[in-house]
Amino acid sequence: MMSTKTILIADDNEEIVDLIIPHLVKDGFMPIIANDGEKAIELFEKEIPNLILLDIMMPKLDGLAVCKYIRAKSDVPIIMITAKSSDEDMIMGIDIGADDYIIKPFSPKQVLAKIKALLRRLDISLKDDKIIKIDNLEINMDEYKVKLDTKEIIFTKKEVEILFTLASNPSKVQSREMLLNELWGYEYFGDTRNVDTHIKRIRAKLGLTEDNDYLWDIKTVWGVGYKFEVES
C-alpha cells in the first residue's frame, strides 16, 4: 500500500472495535475510533478518513443521522454496521448514501474484504466517456447520473454502477455472485441480498412495473440473477 489509509470506526461496542483494529493495522491501515455519533462527526471533519465503518446503534447520534450528515458533505465510502437484517433496515442505509453494509456477527476477514473492495474502486479512474442511451433512459458513468425521459433521477453511486453494468450487457444474465465480485470486489459470503436490495431500489426509482411501456426492462432470472432486456 503506497500510503497509509485512515479508517474511522464509529462503534460503541468495545469488543467489536478490539476485534477489528489488529486486522486493520496488520494490513497497513490506520484506525481511529469514535464511541458515539457526535465523536464520529468530529473525527470525520478533523481527520478526513479514507473510509468509515459506521454502527447504526450509537449514543448521542445514531449511525443513520451520522451517515446523512457526512454524505451531505463528502463521498467518503461508508460501510454501515447493523445487528438488524431486515430488508427495510438495509434499504434505509443504502437510501441515505451508505455504500455497503455488514451484519453482526461478522468476521474480520469479511470486514477487510469489503474495505479493500471499496477503496480499490476509488483508485480506478474512468478515462473514457461512459454514457449509455436506450430509448428514454440515459446512464452517465462519467457524472454518475441517470436520466429518465430527460429528467434526472437521484441514484446512489452503487445503483448507477449496477444499472450501467446491466445495461452495457443487454440480454446477458448477470449472476448475483458476479455482481458482488465485480462491483463490490469481495468474494461471495452468502450475502446476495445486498444485490437484491439495490435492484429493488433501482426498479422503484425507474418506475418499472408490469404495465410500463418502456422498450427496456430489468428482468429477474430466478435462481441466477438479473438481465437488462431490450425489445428488438
| Mean pLDDT value of segment 211-218 | 86
Instruction: Read off the pLDDT band of 67 (50, 70, 90).
Output: very high
CA distance 47 to 63: 18
Q: What average pLDDT does range 182-211 have in this prediction?
A: 80
- The pLDDT tens digits for 68-126 are 999 988 889 899 988 766 666 667 777 788 888 888 888 898 899 888 877 876 664 33
- Is residue 186 over pLDDT 70? no
- Predicted local confidence at residue 102, as pLDDT: 86
Mean pLDDT value across residues 29-50: 95
What percentage of the chain exceeds 70 in pLDDT? 88
Judge whether 166 and 174 are in contact, CB under 8 Å: yes
Locus of grid cell 447520534: 61
**Average pLDDT for the chain:** 86
Contact 163, 146 (CB under 8 A): yes
pLDDT at 142: 84
Q: What domains can you pick out in the chain, each with its CATH number?
A: 6-122 (3.40.50.2300), 131-230 (1.10.10.10)
Lowest mean pLDDT among 54-58, 183-187, 190-194: 183-187
**DSSP summary character for residue 100:** E
Q: Does the pLDDT of residue 191 top 90, yes or no?
A: no
Beta strands in 14-117 (DSSP E): 30-34, 51-55, 78-82, 100-103
Residues 6+ apart with CB under 8 A from 229: 170, 171, 216, 217, 218, 219
Residue 118: the pLDDT is: 79
pLDDT tens-digit readout, 112-165 = 988 887 787 666 433 445 888 888 999 998 889 999 999 999 999 889 999 999
In angstroms, the CA 144 to CA 92 distance is 21
